[in-house]
Structure 1
Amino acid sequence: MLSPTHSEQKANVVAFAFLLIAFLTGIASSFQLPTLSLFLSREIHVSPFLIGLFYSINAVMGIALSQILARYSDKLDDRRKIMMICCLVVVCGCLIFAYSRNYYVLAFLGTFLLGLGASSNPQSFALAREYAESSGREAVMFTTIMRTQISLAWIVGPPLSFSIALGWGFDYMYLVAASAFLLCALISVLLLPKIQRSSQQKSVATNISTKSDKKSIFYLFITCFLVMGCNGMYLINMPLYVIHELHLPERLAGILMGTAAGLEIPIMLLAGYLTKFLSKKTLILTALCAGLLFYLGLFIAEKTWELIALQLFNAIIIGIVATIGMVYFQDLMPTQMGSATTLFSNAAKSSWIVSGPLAGIIAEHWHYSSVFYLAFGILIIATLCFAQVKSA
């Protein structure tokens, strides 16, 4: 029989494994997403519209494949196998991006592999929630701390990715991302626990619980979809806006993303702590107000320090929605952790279907800064939609 000390050490190793996986997947995604528009522009030499279209194709692949895997995973005894397979698939996708410069190969085969493998992230959070509940940990704070690892990765990831891509080449950058996912696959098999779920839980997981408010789930999905859509347009156009319209250094884009990610960490932890005193709805409404201030500020900010200062408001909306929003879905769908977490993840992915082409069309026909005006209007609609979600 394990001694209390040994059991505690084992629990610490498991918790560390979850945090390390979140950090590594965050590093890998922070390498790919911020530099993708620059990669397509410089390496493939395509138009802004085709850049936006690429994001949409990537989103469609990811949504369809991850939702299928999510429903399947809720019926399985062991999520770790899916996580391992997904990580290995992403490794293959990164290798294609490293060595292929054909737009159509990347847009279909590359995005297919990345989309299939992207399920590793929501599956890790679903397993973490199940582990927290089965081990008696405080689920919201454990999920929040795990989510902060992604933000921590985004502090160093974007500046490092731009440095590697601009200094050594995009092929080296994608090889580093592949290495991170390969390590995640090993950790999933060797360190993460198998969470035993009852047959009753698995049978209920095939459908949304009758206790779940489907209207609230729908409006919460739309809210997250619109918020992440605004953020997607910002991420796509911001590097090009900084370089071509403000005529500021190229590396500033990475610094802005890293600054926002760094500020997200204390905001996430604070939001997780405040759930003991405030409803999740109140916290997300606060985040939406901060988002409106962020896009208002982008209308007039032209200097480096102004753009950096605005990242506080950007961090508030993304930090709270990305953490509390995911827990919100899990609370509304308590018997379907895989589907709930993937539904939240797909709200962000599906936003790229619209935000990608919109960002490209607006930039091609008007200005990169015009995207921020559209984002402000969309965020107002998101606030009205979230008002329809029941408090949690």
Structure 2
Amino acid sequence: MYRQFANHNNILIFISFLFSAFIIGIASALQSPTLSRFLTYEVAANPIQVGVFYSINAIASIVGSFLLAKYSDSHGQRRYIVLFCCLMGIGNSVVFALTRNYYLLITVGVFFAALASAAMPQIFALAREYAEKTKRNVVVFNSLIRAQLSLAWVIGPPLSFALAISYGFNLLYYSIIGMYLIAMIIVNFCLPAIPRTPKTFTSIESSTNPIEQSLFKNHNIIFLFLATVFMWTANMMYIIDMPLYVDQVLQLADTLPGKLMGIAAGLEIPVMLASGYLVPKFGKRNLMLFAIICGLFFYLGVITFSNQWALIGLQIFNALFIGIVANIGIIYFQDLLPNRMGVATTLFNNGVTCGVILSGMIQGFVTDFYSHQVIYYIATVMMGLSLLLCVQVRNTK
């Protein structure tokens, strides 16, 4: 009887992890796709202000998530920190719903967003602790949770544009508040309370020394890091600019950007799963090169085609690019630094974050002084540079 109850309880916790990750992912997928449109049309921000907003928001998220992560490793329970992050997400949505003042949004709104951004990392950390405590397969458990984020981005962007265009941004942000409230109920009543233990994750971090000159002499790492920065800068410039490009330049349907993002996210899920099985046959280096070539074709296609169906078809290349890079990229770094897993993971994450920061700055200045089309020429050049850099990364045993 006890074992049966325990099994039922474990199933409930497992489902709760999946559902909480999905709901928090939906909250993010509702806000992010329409943010540039909100700032442009509702706040009347110029392109430079839009780019600066994205960059400051990214920097603030780095600081906020790092401080909460550092606190969570030594104090309290992660479940309460996730609840705090959801509360900050509600605060962010309230600010966006009630004001159209750019300076309030970039200060108070970004402050709340920076603290809310730690919700998903804390969910993953709590899931790993739970998986280790219950002797579950950590990789499979985390992979299933990550799949919920991709699923959220299949549903979120089309819904985001539909709500914002048909009913207004206020209803959109009130919907996000509802998502966070649901997440808080699930997290509070269904997720486990795992006590803090000093040994948590120390097997990785204690073996790494972030201050080693050999890291800067490792050409493979330098090339791969720079390639990662260029790749994610191109991707984020597309995410920021595409809703405005489709509306102002191509003059296609207002709801098309949401559909494009949703289709790409939907295709990324099988690509991610398939790439893991293809690694033993083709190798990580070859898969990375193939992904970058797909990205290069994608941005060339965005420059060349202006038809709705052509843009939809191009999402196959976009999904191959993002699905493989997001799945294989971090493992590639870890293979190049097998004895420094913590540093390897940090390098990948920092490369992505640097791409977010650069993309906001470039997108704002380029569209203000030139045009939206120039963004995709720059993205194409960046993909070409990424390909040249990755070619220089040698295979590891």
TM-score (norm 1): 0.87
Instruction: Write the distance in 2 (CA, Å) between the matches of 1:178 and 1:276.
Output: 44
Are residues 149 and 276 of structure 1, via their aligned partners in 2, closer, same or farther at CA, if it must alter by over 3 Å?
A: farther
1:309 is aligned to 313
The alpha-carbon deviation at position 201 of structure 1 amounts to 4.3
Q: Which structure is larger by alpha-carbon Rg, 1 or 2? A: 2
Other-structure match for 1:381: 385
Match of 2:258 among 214, 234, 254: 254
The farther-off stretch of 136-145 and 80-89 is: 136-145
Q: Deviations over 1:307-365 (max 9, x none)?
A: 0011011112222333344566788699988x987775554343222111211221122
Give the aligned partner of residue 2 of structure 2: 2
1:112-191 to structure 2, matched below 5 A, reads 112-191=111-190
User: 1:131 and 1:115, CA in 2 relative to 1: closer, same or farther beyond 3 A?
Assistant: same
Residue identity matched to 1:351 = G
Query: Following superposition of structure 1 onto structure 2, how do residues 62-141 of structure 1 map, counting pairs within 5 Å?
Result: 62-76=61-75, 78-141=77-140
Letter in 2 for 1:2: Y
The letter of the residue matching 2:105 is L
* AA of the residue aligned to 2:326: A
Contact 1:67–1:342 under 8 Å retained in 2: no
Classify 1:127/1:57 alpha carbon distance in 2 versus 1 (closer, same or farther; 3 Å): same
The answer on whether the counterparts of 1:290 and 1:317 sit within 8 Å (CA) in structure 2 is yes
In structure 2, distance between residues paired with 1:179 and 1:341: 33
Does residue 1:61 correspond to 2:65, yes or no?
Answer: no
Asked if structure 1 preserves the Cα contact closer than 8 Å seen for 2:296 and 2:384, the reply is yes
State the partner residue of 1:355.
359
Q: Which residue of 227, 235, 239 maps to 2:239?
A: 235
8 Å CA contact 1:220, 1:389 repeated in 2: no
Map 1:320-359 to 2 at 5 A.
320-326=324-330, 345=349, 347-359=351-363
Structure 2 residue aligned with 1:24:
23
Which amino acid letter does the alignment assign opposite residue 61 of structure 1? A
Report the secondary structure of 1:302's partner residue. coil
Tell me how far apart the structure 2 counterparts of residues 334 and 128 of structure 1 sit (CA, whole Å).
Answer: 24
Tell me how far 1:81 sits from its aligned partner. 2.2
User: Comparing 66-75 with 176-185, which one deviates more in the overlay?
Assistant: 66-75
How big is the shift at 1:377? 1.7
Which letter maps to 2:60? M
Alpha-carbon distance, 1:62 to partner: 0.6
Aligned residues between the structures: 390
TM-aligned CA deviation for residue 231 of structure 1? 1.1
Q: Partner amino acid for 1:295?
A: Y
- Which amino acid letter does the alignment assign opposite residue 170 of structure 1? F
Whichever residue aligns with residue 50 of structure 1, its letter is Q
Provide the C-alpha distance between the structure 2 equivalents of 1:9 and 1:274, rounded to a whole number of angstroms.
35
Please say if 1:244 is aligned against 2:248.
yes
Question: Residue type of the partner of 1:229?
Answer: T
Separation in structure 2 between the aligned mates of residue 217 and residue 67 of structure 1, nearest angstrom:
23
How far does residue 264 in structure 1 lie from its aligned partner after superposition? 1.1
Can you list the C-alpha shifts for 1:168-226, whole angstroms capped at 9, x where unaligned?
11111011112212222332232223446653446667656259995577665544433
Does the Cα contact within 8 Å between 1:233 and 1:359 map onto a contact in 2? yes
Give the Cα–Cα distance (whole angstroms) in 2 for the partners of residues 69 and 377 of structure 1. Answer: 37
Cα pair distance change 1:366/1:111, threshold 3 Å:
same
CA distance in 1, matches of 2:378, 2:385: 11
Structure 1: gaps spanning 5 or more residues: none
Aligned residue among 225, 228, 240 for 2:229: 225
Identity of aligned residues (%): 41
**1:269 corresponds to 2:273:** yes
Give the match's secondary structure for 1:199: coil
| Structure 1 residue 379, shift from structure 2 partner | 2.2
State how far apart, in whole Å, the 2-side matches of 1:183 and 1:385 are. Answer: 44
Q: Hey, what's the Cα distance between the residues in 2 that align with 1:312 and 1:295?
A: 12
- Per-residue deviation, residues 349-391 of structure 1 (Å, max 9, x unmatched): 4322211121122112222121111112222333455554875
Q: 2:69, 2:122 within 8 Å by CA — same for their partners in 1?
A: yes
Structure 2 gaps, min length 5: none
SS at match of 2:319: helix
Question: After the TM superposition, which of the residue ranges 299-308 and 282-291 deviates more from structure 2?
Answer: 282-291
CA offsets per residue over residues 283-328 of structure 1, 9 Å max, x none? Answer: 4333222212211222211111110011011112222333344566
SS of alignment partner, residue 382 of structure 1? helix
Alignment TM-score, normalising by the size of structure 2: 0.86
Q: CA deviation at 1:278?
A: 5.7
Rate the CA distance shift 1:33–1:142 in 2: closer, same or farther, 3 A.
same
* Residues 1:261 and 1:136: Cα distance change in structure 2 (over 3 Å): same
Check the 8 A contact 1:122/1:345 in 2, yes or no.
no
Q: Which stretch has the larger CA shift, 6-15 or 115-124?
A: 6-15
Q: Is residue 73–residue 196 contact of structure 2 (8 Å, CA) maintained in 1?
A: no
Larger CA deviation: 10-19 vs 235-244: 10-19
Residue aligned with 2:2, SS: coil
Q: Residue 142 of structure 1: CA displacement? A: 3.1
Q: Which moved more, 1:27-36 or 1:212-221?
A: 212-221
Look up the equivalent residue of 1:109 and give its one-letter code. V
User: What secondary structure sits across from 1:370 in the alignment?
Assistant: helix
Structure 1: how far apart are the matches of 2:131 and 2:339? 13
Counterpart of 1:49? Answer: 48
